[in-house]
Homo-oligomer: A and B are copies of this chain.
Amino acid sequence: MPRTWRIEAKRDASARPVRVVLFGLGPIGVLAGKLVHSKECLEIVGAIDIDPKKVGKDVGELLGTAKVGVVVSDRVTETLTAAKADIAVQTTSSHMPNVGPQLADIIATGTNIVSSTEELLYPYLQSSEIGDEIDKLAKEHGVTVLGTGVNPGFVMDTLALVTTFACREVRSIRVTRVVDAATRRGPLQRKVGAGMAPEEFRCEVEAGRMGHVGLVESIAFLASGLGWAVDRIEEQIEPVVADASVKTDYFDVRPGQVKGIHQTGAGWVKGEKVIEMDLLMCMAPDEPGDRIQVSGDPDMDIRICGGTPGDVATPAALVNAIPRVLAAAPGLVTMKDISLPSVLAAGRMRIEGRAGG
């Protein structure tokens, strides 16, 4: 005889949707916007982009949805002030120096921020001063700023850190991620160097125009979460050269051309390599998937079979983080400062007042 329980659902009828402004309407911004639009508990109340081809249009035109009744504007302060938004979903650039002034403008209107800026995952590695300034500003205005995504933001850092909860002790962590770029959107295929000559690839890397942004931030985030005084973080980026033709919807890679990128990083404590990250993004790799190996007591060996598709999961992470950001203490926070990240709960959510209508 099975035992049976019943639980009452507690719904908060008085809750209102969270008011969201989309800041940036590139591929990730559009995907995040579509997701916001589809959720009962969220409402698009503003949209900002500098592209003249987008400004003036109803945001629904860009999202591929019905008319939303929100017109895309290039005026940041005006739009945010009028929108009385709870939060901005900011998706404009990977780098702190580019987004710093944008974040400051958003914060000044009393609006919380969830950002896809890769370097924000751990802002104190490369842009410590900008990070400190944003943190100070956010505290002054009583708002919270978080950088997240699927990578960086989840697979190679947050999930790895959570895995250690089962351990008495951790000695080292190795994370590997293998992404089949052939199944991803065109810009990602370009990002991994598809079709380039190996020399051209190396020049682009040297010039800082190529490579996944955030790997070293994932390392720094993990080290910070583990309380490890990492004295050196190193990163290396190499092309993966095709030995046979690979054809996708976007590219036709010939033998000898680049079919992907192999990016590795490591963190050392007193000369010992304690964090290792290995990211392979290429056309038709042997076995796509993610793996987290914790060497400790006990060892933990976690595999995400088939991997985590970034094109879907990054906008999901941004949107799923919204209630956690709204509930977090003011300041520039990281994924380890918010309460347990998870998919947006069904139904309306209670918003603990601060900004908004």
Contact = CB atoms under 8 A, between A and B. Distances in A.
Contacts of A206: 1
Contacts of A168: 35, 312, 315-316, 319, 343
A287 interface: no
Contacts of A296: 343
Interface string A201-228: 0000010000000001000100101111
B343 A167 contact: yes
A66 interface: no
A312 B297 contact: yes
Interface in A247-267: none
B339 A337 contact: yes
A230 interface: yes
Q: Give the size category of A's interface with B.
A: 35 or more
Given A337-B339, A340-B162, A346-B226, A6 B312 contact: no
Nearest to A312: B298
Interface stretch (A16-24, A87-95, A106-114, A231-239): A231-239
Identical chains bound together, number? 2
Given A5-B216, A5-B232, A343 B308 contact: no
A165 to B, nearest CB: 4
A300 interface: yes
A305 B305 contact: no
B346 A335 contact: no
Contact of A126 (B5, B309, B317, B339): B5
Interface in A1-36: 1-7, 9, 11, 35
A50 interface: no
A72 interface: no
A168 B33 CA distance: 12
Interface in A297-314: 297-306, 308-309, 312-313
A169 interface: yes
30 contacts: A2-B235, A2-B236, A3-B234, A4-B233, A4-B235, A6-B232, A7-B124, A7-B223, A7-B231, A9-B229, A9-B231, A11-B229, A154-B166, A155-B166, A158-B165, A159-B162, A161-B342, A162-B162, A162-B342, A166-B312, A168-B312, A170-B343, A225-B342, A227-B345, A297-B316, A298-B312, A300-B308, A301-B304, A340-B340, A340-B341
